[in-house]
Amino acid sequence: AQSVTQLDSQVPVFEEAPVELRCNYSSSVSVYLFWYVQYPNQGLQLLLKYLSGSTLVKGINGFEAEFNKSQTSFHLRKPSVHISDTAEYFCAVRGNNAGNMLTFGGGTRLMVKP
Amino acid sequence: DTGVSQDPRHKITKRGQNVTFRCDPISEHNRLYWYRQTLGQGPEFLTYFQNEAQLEKSRLLSDRFSAERPKGSFSTLEIQRTEQGDSAMYLCASSLWSRETDTQYFGPGTRLTVL
């Protein structure tokens, strides 16, 4: 079984400032990692994913994340945020065994202020 | 690519009534997943299908819940005798599964309110 912890429930930040959203996971097997974004009253949109290879993954809207196996982390970063980045961000993990469901963290609300 | 669609987007019902939701996956995706998301929480897995076969069900899926994917295309999720605790967003996702590259794409969700 897997579990995901998003340490910050809310992250306020000013426009054009950098941001990091933290994600830690636990698993007894190797994992694949995902970040999704959810705008109000909408479904989840895939931002980026780590399946294998380079540990630095680039996604849409200028976001990137780094997989750190020793620290079991997959933090999401953006060097300069926009007002339009205000949303809920979810980290998710899937084990590489037979089970294919995603296990999500509790989410981090990113609030970008002008 | 029209994406995953769900119908209805919103449903308000009275306690004890039955409700049914529909999900249309991305065409040619062989896997279809249902998740439930309550306010302020991340989505929680309910069940998934590969083609028409239902392969796994979460313990969250009580006997009042049933899901089908009769022809391996669209899926329905039915909740019988709804309870106020069933109020949530019900999300559907689909994927073209392989062990290495499975990526789930989500629909807009159906928000259920049980009065």
Tell me, what's the pLDDT at A57? 95
Contact B32/B92 with Cβ under 8 angstroms?
yes
B102 touches chain A (CB under 8 A): yes
Task: Grade residue A98 by pLDDT with cuts at 50, 70 and 90.
Answer: low
Cβ contacts (< 8 Å) between A2 and chain B: which residues?
none
- pLDDT, chain A, mean: 92
Distance CA(B103)–CA(B96), nearest Å, equals: 7
Task: Grade residue A99 by pLDDT with cuts at 50, 70 and 90.
Answer: low
Instruction: Give the closest residue to B109 by CA, choosing from A42, A75, A105, A25.
Output: A42
Sheet holding B75-79, edge to edge: B5-7, B19-24, B75-79, B65-68
Q: Enter the tokens of residue B1.
A: 């690519």
Distance CA(B74)–CA(A69), nearest Å, equals: 38
B91 touches chain A (CB under 8 A): yes
B94 pairs with which residues across the strands?
A: B32, B105
Residue A92 to residue B111, Cβ atoms within 8 A: no
Cβ contacts (< 8 Å) between B35 and chain A: which residues?
102
pLDDT in tens, A31-81: 899 999 999 878 899 999 998 888 999 999 999 999 999 999 999 999 999
Residue B47, pLDDT > 90, answer: yes
More confident residue, A89 or B55: A89
